[in-house]
Amino acid sequence: MPLALYALTVGAFGIGVTEFVIMGLLLEVGNDFGVTIQAAGLLISGYALGVVAGAPLLTAMTARWPRKTVLLGLMLIFTLGNAACALAPSYGFLMAARVLTAFAHGTFFGVGSVVATSLVAPGKRASAIAVMFTGLTVANILGVPFGTWLGQAFGWRATFWAVTGIGLAALIIIGLFIPRDAASPQASDWRSDLKALARLPVLLGLSTTVLGYAGVFTVFTYIAPLLTRVSGFDETSVSPILLVFGAGLIVGNLLGGKLADRYLIPTVLSSLVALAAVLGLMPFAMHNKALAIIFVGLLGASAFATVSPLQMWVLEKAQGAGQSLASSFNIAAFNLGNALGAWMGGMVIAHGPGLNAIAWVAAIAPLCAVGLALIAIRHERARPARSPACAPSNA
């Protein structure tokens, strides 16, 4: 893999830390601004919505820019946004700064995926995407725990200053190692990009991403109470167990990328089936401490085994002008799945069969994603057969 690819990994690491580290600092932020823990939790939702809104908006606005320039601009937004978080004088200002920072998230991963695939041979494109997303997985294993410790020891603002430093480092590294575009980006406008997005296979691919990740976050959002109330672990054991989840993320991410390079469609389908199987068996495993730890690792592996195959699949469906926009929309789809999953899990706990059953409900989402993927595949296979008959009308 070329060195330039790891420049994208550094940027992904910084973005991953700033997205998830706030989860461990909600009490500190709430106490500082005098808001409830529920209000502080909205900083997570605000960031996710910022990703969903910012991904298509910034990607469309920068469609004619050289991709290296786009990446540098996004890292500048990311760096300034985190500095604003560190300096925030009020809760409202912090929320606005979080949303601003989130605007860079979806477009960075969307455009970065396109850049990553252009840096390697055609047979390694999914692996290149997986290498970039490794920054996100390492952020969960190392960056988030360290950022949480830093914030608890020296104040939550220290964490955001540290992430600002990561942003500056990523800005320099991307500037040094990402090559300039060999040619100007393909001319397009928002109409042609939206037309590419409106193709049924692309829409089905995006919907598959939403459902797949809704299943993951239905469970992962409530993993701490699952481990303590169902499995019987002490609260101090949750963080070490989550390291097992993080290790599973790295293994699944790299394995999914390598398999998708050779067998893209089978990997998309099998990774979603594997995720559904892990979720379906999880309620049985959570009553045994050893099995619970194993299944937390399997959840991480099966969750991120889907990421690069789904991203690569959407990229292939949106050929040409709309590719960067479709890629960014897919990152927004991951975050929409996160929000949907957290809502689903809360509904099951509050109004359904309870905490131990959320994994069974979660398993339904990736199974539905498999159904959508099969519809998309059937549509693509049937289209060549229909095209001769449709040719006169299309002309």
Domain extents in the chain: 1-179, 188-382
**pLDDT at residue 392, rounded to an integer:** 40
Q: What is the pTM of this model?
A: 0.76
Q: How far apart are the first and last CA of the chain?
A: 44
Alpha-carbon distance of 221 to 244, in angstroms, equals 16
Fold of 1-179: Growth Hormone; Chain: A; (1.20.1250)
The whole-chain average pLDDT of the chain stands at: 82
51 is written with which tokens?
């990703």
What pLDDT sits at residue 395?
A: 30
Q: State the pLDDT at residue 190.
A: 58
Which CATH number is 188-382 given? 1.20.1250.20
What average pLDDT score do residues 178-184 get? 70
Q: Which of 21-30, 100-109, 286-295, 305-314 has the highest mean pLDDT?
A: 286-295
Q: HSE, CB side, 13 Å, CA atoms: give it for residue 241.
A: 26
| pLDDT value, residue 87 | 95
- What is the gyration radius of the CA atoms in the chain, in angstroms? 21
pLDDT tens digits along 131-154: 888 887 788 777 877 887 888 889
